[in-house]
């Protein structure tokens, strides 16, 4: 999908919404704790779209999934707590209905006043959602005259409310969040200003290999951290002790490092490590250099020298993309490496993009979320977009635009 192709998709500004029922697919798949929203980043990200529609007199039907209820109603995954939270964030009247299709839901959507919001119950309470069932999609389409997809985080799923439903609406487009995500991520893969530095962490390199391969021709430096770095170090023959790594990816990683050398991309790996007996136990730790014996200890964070070097690399960049923690950041004693990356990215005054729930959570904890150019709510969708893969949600809208 080229930026030129994507520019053919209609945006909110292209749609006539006054007085019409607008079915808005959002991504309210947020973490809950004790019946409360624990992180409202994704909810807040959709507020501009909802406000835009309300100001123009649209009658707004909001749909989302939450968790993995496996195609049946499960109170643990009800959107009711999310609706309570949304009411605190908007001045618009917000109603909630305990279903997402059927005559009662259709009547409720018809009864909406201009500017009113009706939030549907979890789409995944029906198996037709994840099966991309046209029949289920047709039922959803009876709830509106205009379709708006503002759920970039679900755009990589060929699910009914993202993909099949588009065929049943005469007017379709993307919301302000989706538009911003596409513009920013397109800039990373099509016109990044150099030096472009990508910082990648997390547990599995297998999740990010397609992204790394696609970025190799665009970045000047790759900074690798987290458990995924131990697959790289294993491929180089280093002792990694009991550190988590992916044995089946060692060959692929060795090939990736060879490609980076051929392209002149600087691929940086940790030069020191914080080790622990167990990844959940901070009572006994030590710091070692790469090449030293790990014994039966495991790596839980990048060391201070690595953090310093990575910060220097980030400071020199004109474009930065960061996805994934540098260690077991959930344990405060093992979070300093990830926090140092968050501070370095936030201090860079140029074009900075951060994706992935873990990275965003650390930025938020550090009070730095508003210091980056763009905080992507896309998760897996962002990675697939950067890998050059087609996203079903965008493909459906492109098909509609042609």
- Please confirm, yes or no, whether 70 is among the known catalytic residues: no
pLDDT, residue 7, reads 80
Question: Does the pLDDT at position 85 exceed 80?
Answer: yes
Give residues with Cβ within 8 angstroms of 88, minimum separation 6. none
Is residue 172 located within the same domain as residue 200?
A: no
Question: Does the pLDDT at position 298 exceed 70?
Answer: yes
The CATH number that applies at residue 241 is 3.40.50.1260
- Residue 97 is assigned to a structural domain of this protein: yes
**Is residue 251 within 8 Å of 236, Cβ to Cβ?**
no
pLDDT, residue 334, reads 97
- Residue 362 is assigned to a structural domain of this protein: no
Q: How confident is the model at residue 84 (pLDDT cuts 50, 70, 90)?
A: very high
187, 204, 308, 309: the active-site residue: 204
67, 71, 241, 380: the active-site residue: 380
Handedness of CA 290, 292, 297, 303 (dihedral sign): negative
Is residue 111 located within the same domain as residue 241?
A: no
Q: How confident is the model at residue 2 (pLDDT cuts 50, 70, 90)?
A: low
pLDDT, residue 3, reads 55
pLDDT digits (tens, 9 = 90+) for 222-239: 999 999 999 999 999 999
Is residue 86 located within the same domain as residue 174?
A: yes
Beta strands in 290-367 (DSSP E): 298-302, 319-323, 351-355
Chain-wide mean pLDDT for the chain? Answer: 95
Q: Which residues span the domain enclosing 328?
A: 194-349
Between 77-81, 270-274, 275-279, 361-365, the lowest mean confidence (pLDDT) is in: 361-365
- Please confirm, yes or no, whether 204 is among the known catalytic residues: yes
Cis peptide before 195 (omega within 30 of 0): yes
pLDDT digits (tens, 9 = 90+) for 96-115: 999 999 999 999 999 999 99
pLDDT digits (tens, 9 = 90+) for 13-68: 999 999 999 999 999 999 999 999 998 989 999 999 999 999 999 999 999 999 99
Is residue 20 located within the same domain as residue 155?
A: yes
Is residue 160 located within the same domain as residue 232?
A: no
324, 357, 378, 379: the active-site residue: 357
Is residue 162 located within the same domain as residue 309?
A: no
pLDDT: which is higher, 5 or 168: 168
């Amino acid at each position: 999908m080229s930026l030129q192709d994507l520019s053919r998709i209609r945006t909110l500004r292209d749609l006539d919404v006054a007085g019409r029922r607008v079915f808005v697919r959002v991504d309210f798949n947020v973490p809950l704790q004790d019946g409360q929203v624990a992180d409202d980043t994704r909810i807040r990200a959709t507020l501009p779209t909802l406000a835009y529609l309300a100001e123009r007199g649209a009658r707004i039907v909001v749909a989302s999934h939450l968790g993995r209820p496996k195609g049946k109603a499960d109170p643990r995954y009800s959107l009711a707590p999310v609706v309570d939270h949304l009411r605190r964030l908007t001045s618009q009247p917000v109603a909630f209905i305990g279903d997402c299709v059927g005559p009662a839901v259709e009547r409720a959507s018809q009864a909406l006043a201009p500017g009113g919001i009706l939030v549907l119950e979890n789409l995944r309470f029906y198996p037709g959602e994840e099966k991309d069932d046209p029949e289920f999609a047709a039922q959803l389409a009876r709830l509106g005259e205009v379709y708006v997809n503002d759920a970039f985080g679900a755009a990589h799923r060929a699910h009914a409310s993202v993909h099949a439903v588009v065929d049943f609406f005469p007017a379709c487009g993307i919301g302000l969040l989706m538009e911003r995500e596409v513009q920013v991520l397109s800039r990373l893969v099509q016109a990044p200003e150099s030096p472009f530095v990508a910082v990648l962490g997390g547990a599995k390199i297998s999740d990010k290999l397609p992204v790394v391969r696609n970025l190799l021709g665009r970045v000047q430096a790759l900074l690798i951290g987290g458990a995924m770095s131990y697959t790289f170090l294993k491929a180089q023959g280093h002792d990694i002790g009991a550190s988590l790594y992916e044995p089946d990816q060692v060959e692929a990683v060795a090939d990736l490092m060879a490609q980076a050398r051929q392209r002149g991309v600087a691929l940086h790996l940790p030069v020191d490590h914080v080790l622990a007996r167990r990844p959940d136990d901070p009572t006994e730790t030590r710091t070692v250099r790469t090449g030293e014996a790990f014994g039966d200890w495991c790596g839980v964070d990048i060391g201070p020298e690595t953090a310093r070097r990575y910060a220097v690399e980030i400071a020199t960049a004109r474009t930065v993309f960061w996805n994934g923690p540098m260690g077991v950041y959930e344990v405060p004693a093992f979070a300093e490496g990830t926090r140092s990356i968050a501070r370095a990215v936030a201090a860079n005054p140029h074009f900075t993009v951060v994706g992935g729930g873990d990275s965003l959570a650390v930025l938020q904890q550090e009070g730095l979320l508003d210091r980056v150019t763009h905080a992507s709510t896309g998760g897996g969708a962002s990675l697939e977009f950067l890998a050059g893969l087609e996203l079903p949600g965008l493909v459906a809208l492109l098909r509609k635009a042609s």
